[in-house]
Structure 1
């Protein structure tokens, strides 16, 4: 409300007059009222207003009125630009006023101070010389009725509060203005005074003046004041934000200038130093032109970024990753085949297939000079040395070694990486591993490939298809890098316990090499050459202070472990040498050459008993051979007859496939009852019960087919099974014997149990021919094609 200031910036005090309506003085009003046109303002009753007068007619008018102490009519012009307005150019409603004072200003202008008295309405023009004179009528305000007085008082109070808030937000207004408003008691004068000084154009003020109802005039003024206050608050907010923004920019500029000065003193801008360092490092990289162009383009982006922005660190990390990767940087292969063979034999006992394949690969590299590395997959039971073989292969080839565990991995981005636009994006683990090794042709172990998971994040096994395809991995695309990387020189070696959970497309891309379990003799050699020295050193036992004979090692293997590999054996030896370390540290006496009794004292009672065939076998009991995840096992199939109606009962925690084998066995014997001299009434008057002991252990698979036929036939014919005999094979309803798997593990289990004769399907002869002679010593194999041959060989 800056208009509360006078023209000379001097505050014009409120001259409240309770009688400004002049009802009692209406007789003193002139018959014809002289009009003074007002530009850019509207005079309200009761309000004192300074007006600058410049027109000759207006000057003459105010001097005449001031001399006679008469009245004039102040009326606003409709068009503010007119210099000599006529009656039609003025608003109809105006304010009767008196001249309080005429001021001659130093610049030669004249200012008149007038006070409005009452409203009037122009009627007819009487004269226009020397100034306009009109007939008129007084317009009285409509005072609110008694029932509206409380509402009118609330409106007036609201107007006063709004006006005070507006004054408070305008620091240029003198404090006297607020004081005057607070002490104004006449509500009509308060409305007119605030409307006169409010920031409104002439049309808006004229509109409020013309409202005769005081309540309506107050509401119209309230609406305008609310809008004005909101506008002032909005302006203040904007100014505050702009000021804060400017202050922040100035502060940042000042700090940046200081930083720049400090940096110059210390040797230069670190950003430029980093960029120069990256450029120098890039010159040494052996990457292709395409990768070089990508790097230079991304480096230009980094140069344009502000170091304080989050995007700067993302871009910097991306460029640093590109520089850290071994683009076409290879280690030289060692082509000394005899040395490679010695290293492989030194670190691992057995595993001839794997060693032979590695030596073949090395030989081709030596002759050809360049070869896409094969993708090997070693599969077999746990603890046989699949993972540790990778280190030996890397040493034999003279390459770097890296291992990546895939167990439980269920996010495709772990293989291919994330787009660098994501928050926290990083390369896939393939690229990260190569960055750590600093070589583009390491031996890369993909451990537990059969344990890969799958989730809504994608299928990592499918992402590995590109990695493990020799025809594709020379252009491996990592999402983070977004450029192709050559993996064709990497020797990937995957490991798995079982191939059943690995997808067919993935199997098709790998060269499968089976790693079988160890025999007792092999385990003894592994323990003697590797495990015992390792555990003695790990537990601080001096070399030569304790010795374990082969007999003792054999006892430990057979009595405290049951596995295909040697992991449990390693833990058992660790336990044994911990006990020995306690004896040595306590000063107790002990036997240097450890006996079986000493082992039993340190390790406790035997956990496992050696599997043996049952010497005093009865009819219906047959020894079968089974494959488990920890190696081969022997199992017994028992059958019995009881009076009944020909029902078949199966117990022993059998799976669906094994149950079907028992049903097939019984149905085959029923169909061949005549040839086997079995009375057909036996099937009608007796129930057959087939049981496989150790019912807590789930059992499944078709390998026990011929074992079940022999067991049921034995009890039906009353003939026992020959001693030291075991068998394995699948059967069909027509009596054919089909081949099975896990032959080596089953043979090892048979040797442990003291078996001498083994019945196998004829199609498994090729598996026997691939097994070393040392495993077959003391065993006689009988190859069969049908069940009749099995019964002829097995039954006494």
Structure 2
């Protein structure tokens, strides 16, 4: 309609800006047309009311063209003070102004009406969507979230819950009390004393795998919670996590250990948070362990950066969260999210880290904040005790010798239980027994399991080595992690074809430090024998090509060459460790405790260690005699003399 009025306005005679009014009749028609347009715009009644308010009604109805022009001005420009009677020359100009004002008004009103129409259409769409959403919500509330498909899946899950298999063997035989953990008496006391204190300490546990570190930590918390002085509650949490499998994002998008913040846009936060762009903090395992124990197995494998972040949490006892999306002034942020961002999540716990690594490989800052406890490798008698206890809890019978056989092939309690479990399954399959108490695990069962697992004995039969002596062969001692072992070193020596032009050969795979030990041995041998090693062709070999990382094989290499040059046999139940100096002194080395254990496992009865390592020797070394030596002269006397004077281990 407005567009038609605009077209009509352009067709009024003399309505164009530069068109000249030639006569009064043309002016009268133009004025009448303009009043007609105003009547179309406002309506006849509203036009009369408008003219009355502006004191232009009588003028509008007058037959005088000049008065009607004044009425047009008052109505269009809404100015009741216009009174000056226009001259005939002035009337065309006034009508052009009125015409332009009406045109602008019509154009503006057209745009406004179009915009209003769009707004109304959009509001109608939103209203329909809102009504649809309300209806959908009402349907859900009446029918619930379930449908035939979801109910079917729920029924399948319920059916799965009814199917139960027997517990794993390890669950059945796992110790439930501290006295059921075999060995580790000193370590268990240390663990309980550090957790049972009114001020419990963070702890690092060192030791080989399968000796009860995790189980001891779990039981220690249960025992400590019973004490009146301890801060642990009866239901204190024990959160266990493995450092080898723990993964995190350096951008802290994902951090299961310390916690992370879910981005409302990219990480699929809750719908209500995503729609309002509110980040949601997710507390991690350190908060789950609040008030209890966080047991971090294989802590030495944890990412170094994450270790440093963990240290900060240990200091603050709280985890802080940050996000560029968090607005503290946003009224839509829930209180718990606001509290997490402003105060952080509580993380007051005791850290117990376990590792099979050497202490020197652990973060020094972490070590300085923790008490350190060492779990020892298991000896055969302890492995036998573990096997017997496991068989009792499994309610099975063992043929004589089964436990002893298992103890020869492993020093891990977990591995021993697994071997027993394998043998148990084999015995059930072989006999077809249905009653657990009627199962007898025979020697043939465990022997078959050992063959299937391709295992070799850890412990040698002592009877084979006690009476034997060989020229140019001796056992040195090494250590890897927390496990000691013997290193077989052999040497041969032949007179050189020409005096002073002998050759000295040594396998390079053993390492440069071991080769240096050979040259030190040459100097020592000349002093104690008066013979020049250059008069001999000497070949020294480390059997198996093992690499020797330190100088601890120096004394053993010296003895092997000495035996080969002089033809003196060395008892093969003797093992030795120590660095040799060119002055013939036996210098201290590392890992003596583990080396003594390894010597015992290998069937040695006599072990020689440097005197300066006397504090590293066990107070009561079972199964071996330990001698402390200061010089190569003492070593030669102990190894080759008929009567050997034992030096007290203490």
Give yes or no for TM over 0.5: yes
Counterpart selection for 1:636 from 488, 496, 513: 488
Q: Give, in angstroms, the shift of residue 749 of structure 1.
A: 2.9
Counterpart selection for 2:528 from 659, 676, 681: 676
Q: Show CA shifts across 1:601-650 (max 9, x none).
A: 56548732443648544322111222234722222111223658555433
Counterpart selection for 1:352 from 185, 202, 213: 185
Contact 2:490 2:542 in 1 (8 A): yes
State yes or no: 1:721 paired with 2:570.
Answer: yes
Correspondence list, 1:84-483, <5 A: 242=119, 245-251=122-128, 254=131, 344-361=177-194, 364=197, 371-398=198-225, 399=234, 400=236, 401-409=238-246, 411=248, 413=252, 414=255, 415-419=257-261, 423=267, 426-434=281-289, 440-454=290-304, 459-468=305-314, 472-475=315-318, 477=320, 481-482=340-341, 483=343
| Match of residue 24 from structure 2 | 56
Q: Which has the higher contact order (CA 8 A, sep 6+)?
A: 2
Q: Distance in 2 between matches of 1:109 and 1:250?
A: 55
Structure 2 portions without partners, runs of 5+: 31-60, 66-86, 91-99, 102-106, 143-174, 226-233, 270-279, 323-336, 642-650
Contact 2:240 2:296 in 1 (8 A): yes
TM-score (norm 2): 0.63
| Match of residue 637 from structure 2 | 792
Q: Give, in angstroms, the shift of residue 587 of structure 1.
A: 8.5
Q: Give, in angstroms, the shift of residue 777 of structure 1.
A: 3.6
Q: Give, in angstroms, the shift of residue 517 of structure 1.
A: 0.4
Q: Give, in angstroms, the shift of residue 790 of structure 1.
A: 2.3
- Shift in alpha-carbon separation, 1:478–1:753, aligned structure 2, 3 A: same
CA RMSD of superposed structures (Å)? 4.7
Correspondence list, 1:593-742, <5 A: 594-601=441-448, 603-604=450-451, 607-609=455-457, 610-611=459-460, 613=465, 616-629=468-481, 631-641=483-493, 648-651=504-507, 653-654=509-510, 656=511, 659-663=512-516, 665-680=517-532, 682-683=533-534, 686-695=536-545, 698-742=547-591
Q: Distance in 2 between matches of 1:451 and 1:513?
A: 18
Q: Distance in 2 between matches of 1:60 and 1:633?
A: 125
Contact 2:502 2:537 in 1 (8 A): yes
**3-state SS of the aligned residue for 2:296?**
strand
Contact 1:54 1:109 in 2 (8 A): no
Q: Give, in angstroms, the shift of residue 699 of structure 1.
A: 4.7
Q: Give, in angstroms, the shift of residue 591 of structure 1.
A: 9.5
Correspondence list, 1:468-507, <5 A: 468=314, 472-475=315-318, 477=320, 481-482=340-341, 483-484=343-344, 487-488=347-348, 490-498=349-357, 499-507=359-367
Q: Give, in angstroms, the shift of residue 721 of structure 1.
A: 1.7
Q: Distance in 1 between matches of 2:347 and 2:303?
A: 24
| Match of residue 387 from structure 2 | 527
Structure 1 portions without partners, runs of 5+: 13-35, 44-50, 63-105, 111-128, 133-200, 203-227, 229-233, 267-341, 365-370, 435-439, 537-542
Q: Give, in angstroms, the shift of residue 57 of structure 1.
A: 7.4
Higher Rg = 1
Q: Give, in angstroms, the shift of residue 441 of structure 1.
A: 2.2
Contact 1:428 1:478 in 2 (8 A): no
Q: Distance in 2 between matches of 1:486 and 1:130?
A: 92
Q: Distance in 1 between matches of 2:220 and 2:22?
A: 109
Q: Distance in 1 between matches of 2:8 and 2:29?
A: 23
Contact 1:652 1:693 in 2 (8 A): no
Q: Give, in angstroms, the shift of residue 525 of structure 1.
A: 0.6
Q: Show CA shifts across 1:42-78 (max 9, x none).
A: 78xxxxxxx9x7962755999xxxxxxxxxxxxxxxx
**3-state SS of the aligned residue for 2:529?**
coil
TM-score (norm 1): 0.53
| Match of residue 310 from structure 1 | none
- Shift in alpha-carbon separation, 1:548–1:633, aligned structure 2, 3 A: farther
| Match of residue 147 from structure 2 | none
Q: Give, in angstroms, the shift of residue 486 of structure 1.
A: 5.3
Q: Give, in angstroms, the shift of residue 410 of structure 1.
A: 5.3
- Shift in alpha-carbon separation, 1:749–1:235, aligned structure 2, 3 A: farther
